[in-house]
Amino acid sequence: MTQAANQGDRTGAAEAVGSADELLALRAENAALREIIARQSEAMRALEARIVELERRLGLDSSNSSKPPSSEGLKKPARVKSLRERSGKRTGGQKGHPGDTLRQVTTPDTVIDHYPAACTHCGTGLTTATAISHARRQVFDLPEPRPLVVTEHRAHVCCCPSCGATTRGRFPEQVTAPVQYGARICAFAVYLLHGHFVPEDRLAELMGDLFGVRLVPATIARMSRSCAQRLQGFIEAVRDRVSQAKVKHMDETGFRIGGRTQWLHVFSTSLLTFYRVSARRGGPPHAVSGIVVHDHWKPYYTMTGVLHALCNAHHLRELKALIEIDKEEWARKMQALLQRACHATNLARECGLPLEASFIANVQRRYDAIVTEGLVFHRAQPAFARTQRRGRRRRRIGHNLLVRLKERKEDVLRFLSDPDVPFTNNQAERDVRMMKLRQKISGGFRSETGAEDFAVIRAALSTAKKQGWDILATLMRPETLVFALKSS
């Protein structure tokens, strides 16, 4: 009896041990399966987030992002709605606009008289003495190209009647060789080369066909180098004026030099333009005061002694993408608010009046409420899966924009309180656009010297147009124009 009981106890104990081992194995297997499922779920969430991100990228174009229109090719979408509000004015030229209509002049260069040979009624012959009135029609045309005008400079040697020594006269400073081209030809060639981006080979052909001037690319390159050197002092004066201006615009773009990507920085106002070539994108200028308008590139915030104003055209494009692609309601409200504030500011500026303090306060309150609404919305969204162990967890595009709008509220809305601050940074973007066109045509520059010469000459051309100066006179005599600079 006792022996049988002991045998039963041992059997039960063995079965219990076996059951415990099986239970532990099952638990371990379940844990492994849960870990696999968790990893797969994490991977699925990452894939879903990636799909959403790629679909968002497909929906971006030049109207709702910073992508240039040239990147869209033939798929450029039709522009069906402008970001601007209606001003209530009729389309076309406004009252007071001078226009450029071709009009008759009072003193033409050449007059050709046409008289009838005979009377159309009776056939009697007519002479100039029978003329009693006339009708006028004027034809504007270019003069017939003439051969080059050759001016010979003679430096005479004179003998002193007292001591017998000889003294030779001095040639003008700009006359440095036995044979050379004049300042006007050089200015014309440089303007076509850097103002309208005509390649050197084609420019040489153009000068020969139109003016009979046989240039070679090496001569054109020397003209460009010489012009840039003469413009250096003028451009330094422009740089100093831009630095001291109350409001200046800043932007930067990639520049290919010697097969490597470098950077072109633009600092400009409505009347001045300065370009700087730099090997690195960072490093904003020093000794700058006033208000800097830019597109929230973070190195600009390392500048000291300046106030900042952010480009709201960038904000409107980002908001447009959030409305059309992400369907975020707060973005629609913020877009409407910024457009309304811009419209009111433009009307006040046209009337020469400041915005009412109550309107500014109302915009600020509405701004804060919309930002809060957007942050509440994004904080309620499921967080993205971590892609790295350290650092801040990745946020959605709209969430990042909201954080910027909250932290930089004063810079976003600076245009409300200061009528000299524009709503956008379009001035700098217009000034940099032609530089990108030059790169599109030629691909880049072979040397850093060529790139710097181009930046100097383009800055002079842009400033001259803003100042209303004659382009050829600017390139021919830049030293005489420094004191004529008007600052804005």
Report how far residue 278's alpha carbon sits from residue 274's, in angstroms, rounded to the nearest whole number: 13
Of the candidates 405, 412, 418, which has an alpha carbon nearest to the alpha carbon of residue 247?
A: 418
Cα Dmax for the chain: 164
- Return the residue matching tokens 């239970």: 23
pLDDT tens readout for residues 23-77: 777 778 788 888 888 777 767 776 766 777 776 666 677 666 666 666 666 566 6
pLDDT value of residue 6: 55
Percent of the chain with pLDDT over 70: 85
* Token pair of 218 as six digits: 């090496």
Q: β-pairing, 273-278 with 290-294?
A: unpaired
pLDDT value of residue 14: 54
- Find out whether 303 and 292 touch, Cβ atoms under 8 Å: yes
Query: What one-character-per-residue DSSP string does 464-480 give?
Result: HHHHT--HHHHHH-GGG
Query: What one-character-per-residue DSSP string does 438-460 give?
Result: HHHHH--BSSHHHHHHHHHHHHH
Tell me the one-letter amino acid at 325.
Answer: I
Terminal CA-to-CA distance of the chain, rounded, Å? 115
The percent of the chain in helix, strand and coil, each rounded to the nearest 5, is 50, 10, 40
pLDDT: is 280 or 431 the higher one? 431
Considering only CA atoms, give the Rg of the chain.
37
Of the candidates 425, 342, 416, 338, which has an alpha carbon nearest to the alpha carbon of residue 66?
A: 425
Query: In which band, very low, low, confident or very high, does the pLDDT at 146 lie, cut at 50, 70 and 90?
Result: confident
Segment 375-398 mean pLDDT = 80
Report how far residue 35's alpha carbon sits from residue 19's, in angstroms, rounded to the nearest whole number: 24
Q: Residue ranges of the alpha helices (H) in 325-356? A: 329-351
Report how far residue 454's alpha carbon sits from residue 267's, in angstroms, rounded to the nearest whole number: 16
- Quote the mean pLDDT of the chain: 85
